[in-house]
Amino acid sequence: MTRLSKAGIGTALAALLFTTFVPAARSQTLTLRYGQAYSAARSIFSLPVAIAEREGFFAREGLNVQILQPIPGGADHQIAALHNDSVDLTHVATPFLIRAALAGSDAVAVAAEFKNPIYSVIAKPEIATFADLKGRLVGLADEYGTITLSIRKLMGLHGLARGEFGFRTIEGTSGRWACLRRGDCDAVVLGQPQDLIAVEQGFRMLGTSTEAVPELLYTVTAVRRSWATPNKDTVVRYVRALSAAFTFIRNPSHRDRVVRTVMQSTNASETIAQQTLALFFDPERGVLPKRAEIDLEGLAQVIAMMSDAGAIKTPLPSPEQFVDLQYLRAAGVP
């Protein structure tokens, strides 16, 4: 046997070992506990994780992702769940991550879930304009979250100042939608699909959050640094699966399957599910990341909005303080 042929056999054997070792490494199923926010349950904001689960991207990475939903209490409880070891990773809106980190938490974002959400102000049918909300009760989200901050800006653009209407803080789109249906709220802030369902049922859409604010980074997957460091491979597998989910969602040939997932996870009709995806992609509105990448400029916008509202003080922290990009890079996401 010649030296060349031996070398060739060696190379072929190495390649064979590599191709069999990688699947074998992922064949060991690892369980991950993922905390889903109350605001995401039964809404479009559960879509990336729902697709990763239903289309087998988590399973392909050797992950058994247990979706714990919803975490009780307000959005601040998402980070608390990381610290009390109730979950390993969690869905969280960026203002709550920022607030927790500035208070001493070692929680950081490892992947983006939603970038630039579209929230609608939905009112009773007899309310035709923002001016009609004077003296009325509006159901809002957390006072210092991006939803309420953007909606207050929207109202200001339409001449409705703080103090000219009453407000009630209600956690989650489904809770606010219930308040409007009961008649307890004159108007509420809703995400998809509830805003489109409301319009279908005769309620009135007065405006959307994207009219008032530039692109931002809305929700992320967060972990504690102290947990993620010794579990790097597990976090990378999760990020890679989430990235694959975004690629799948954005592929037009998969639209029918994504519609079915929206229907199953939100209880929306096929028509509403199709309208929701058309709102995001026809044309492209930058609502979703392309591959779970973290938009640092969008995170800086959130920091600026929080500062304008008095939620954080100057000097403003840099967005890099609240993220750890090593897991995205290891997963092949630029």
In 3-state terms the chain splits into helix, strand, coil percentages (rounded to 5) of: 50, 15, 35
- Split at pLDDT 50, 70, 90, the class of 295 is very high
Q: What would the mean pLDDT of 118-137 be, rounded to a whole number? A: 98
* Higher pLDDT, residue 12 or 269: 269
- Split at pLDDT 50, 70, 90, the class of 99 is very high
Least confident of 51-65, 139-153, 291-305: 139-153
Q: What would the mean pLDDT of 203-220 be, rounded to a whole number? A: 95
pLDDT for 76 beyond 90: no
Least confident of 24-38, 256-270, 273-287: 24-38
Least confident of 70-79, 93-102, 203-212, 228-237: 70-79
Q: What is the mean pLDDT of the chain?
A: 90
Least confident of 23-27, 152-156, 301-305: 23-27
Least confident of 12-26, 142-156, 188-202, 223-237: 12-26
Q: Do 170 and 149 meet the contact criterion of CB atoms below 8 Å apart?
A: no
The pLDDT, as a whole number, for residue 41 is 77
| Predicted TM-score of the model (pTM) | 0.88
Q: To the nearest 10°, the Cα dihedral for 264, 112, 211, 127?
A: 40
Helix 296-308 vs helix 146-157: crossing angle, to nearest 10 = 70
Half-sphere CA count of 307, side-chain side, radius 13 A: 12
pLDDT for 10 beyond 60: no
Residue 99 phi, psi dihedral angles, 5° rounding: -60, -45
The pLDDT, as a whole number, for residue 38 is 75
Query: By percentage, how much of the chain surpasses pLDDT 90?
Result: 82
CATH number for the domain whose boundaries are 120-211: 3.40.190.10
Q: What would the mean pLDDT of 95-113 be, rounded to a whole number? A: 97
Q: Do 127 and 136 meet the contact criterion of CB atoms below 8 Å apart?
A: yes
The pLDDT, as a whole number, for residue 74 is 63
| Protein fold of 23-116+216-330 | D-Maltodextrin-Binding Protein; domain 2 (3.40.190)
For 133-164, give the DSSP string.
GTT-EEEE--TTSHHHHHHHHHHHHTT--TTS
Q: Do 226 and 88 meet the contact criterion of CB atoms below 8 Å apart?
A: no
The pLDDT, as a whole number, for residue 60 is 97
Round to whole Å and give the CA distance between 321 and 296. Answer: 10
187-190/120-123 β-pairing: antiparallel
Round to whole Å and give the CA distance between 49 and 262. Answer: 11
The pLDDT, as a whole number, for residue 205 is 98
User: Is the bond preceding 317 in cis, omega lying within 30 degrees of 0?
Assistant: no
Domain with CATH 3.40.190.10 in the chain: 23-116+216-330, 120-211
Q: What would the mean pLDDT of 52-70 be, rounded to a whole number? A: 94
The pLDDT, as a whole number, for residue 42 is 80
Q: What would the mean pLDDT of 159-180 be, rounded to a whole number? A: 93
Q: Do 29 and 62 meet the contact criterion of CB atoms below 8 Å apart?
A: yes
Q: What would the mean pLDDT of 258-271 be, rounded to a whole number? A: 96
Q: What would the mean pLDDT of 265-281 be, rounded to a whole number? A: 96
